[in-house]
Structure 1
Amino acid sequence: MNLHDIVFHLLNFAAPALVLALLVPLLARLLFRKQAQRLPWWGQVLVNFVVGVTALLASLWWLGRDGKMLGYSLLVLAVASSQWLLVRGWRR
């Protein structure tokens, strides 16, 4: 594999985490307008992206390959939990 292929493999690996990290804070702002946000939107995206990539890496390590539904379920659960913690969802 050359460098071009390696870059595209890494980008495709992280793409689901990036899309989810962008959508979750956007939808949270639309649905929960009254809630005071502790971090700006880009901070929430950054935290959710790091958590999502970490979840994908953990599922790759545990399952031995990428693209399994269990790994994507872990990604959704991790990013949703991260967003809940960021907006202090336990205080409602």
Structure 2
Amino acid sequence: MDFLDAFWQVMNLFAPALGVGLIAAGAAKLLWRRELGRVSYLRLALWAFAAGAVVLLGGLLLLGQDGRMVTYGTMVLACALALWWAGFLRPAR
């Protein structure tokens, strides 16, 4: 495996976390406009992406392979918790 193959392998590992993070942050900003008005979209998306990436890495290490449904379900839950934390418990000043 050369460098380019390894690069795309890592990007594909984190792609679900990025997609879920971006979509979940956008949905949260739409659903709770008033409550999340002062919190930036970028902040929410980064928190959700980081939580999802940690869960994907943990799932890879614990289960030995990528793409298990339990990992994806846990990633969605972690993204929701990260959005709750970043948007409601630690709002931007």
Question: For residues 70 and 82 of structure 2, what CA distance do their matches in structure 1 show?
Answer: 18
Aligned pairs (5 A) from 1:1-92: 1-37=1-37, 39-88=39-88
Quick one: which amino acid aligns to residue 75 of structure 2? L
Q: 1:72 to 1:87 in 2, by over 3 A?
A: same
Q: 1:31-80 deviations in whole A, cap 9, x for unaligned?
A: 11121445311111111111110010011111111000011011101001
Q: Share of identical aligned residues, percent?
A: 34
Number of equivalences: 89
Question: For residues 17 and 3 of structure 1, what CA distance do their matches in structure 2 show?
Answer: 22
What's the C-alpha RMSD, in Å, of the aligned pairs? 1.4
Gaps of 5+ in 2: none
TM-score, length basis structure 1: 0.88
TM-score, length basis structure 2: 0.88
Gaps of 5+ in 1: none
